[in-house]
Amino acid sequence: RTKHIDVRYHFIKEKVEKGIVELFFVGTEYQLADLFTKALPVERFQYLVRRLGMRCLTPVELEALSNESA
């Protein structure tokens, strides 16, 4: 387990040093990953979903989609 972390760390470190990847700090207000890693209030969840260019589907829309793919 530690070996995998070590390998990933060095892989990223190498890409940063070569200028292939550039890392930036992202404050909590703009952290889209929070959507996938935290329990959020409904308003915050919906805001982040919209920021990703997604939308929440209603139960009726979900049912229609599942019927289309069947």
The domain segmentation of the chain, as residue ranges, is: 2-69
Pair 47, 41: CB distance under 8 Å: no
pLDDT, tens digit, 9 for 90 and up, residues 17-70: 999 999 999 998 889 999 999 999 999 999 999 999 998 889 999 999 988 876
Pair 56, 46: CB distance under 8 Å: yes
Q: What is the pLDDT of residue 44?
A: 94
Which pairs count as long-range contacts for 2-10, CB under 8 Å and 24+ apart, including other chains?
none
Q: What is the pLDDT of residue 28?
A: 87
Q: What is the mean pLDDT of residues 3-7?
A: 78
Q: What is the pLDDT of residue 29?
A: 86
d(CA 44, CA 23): 25
The token duo for 48 is: 């982040």
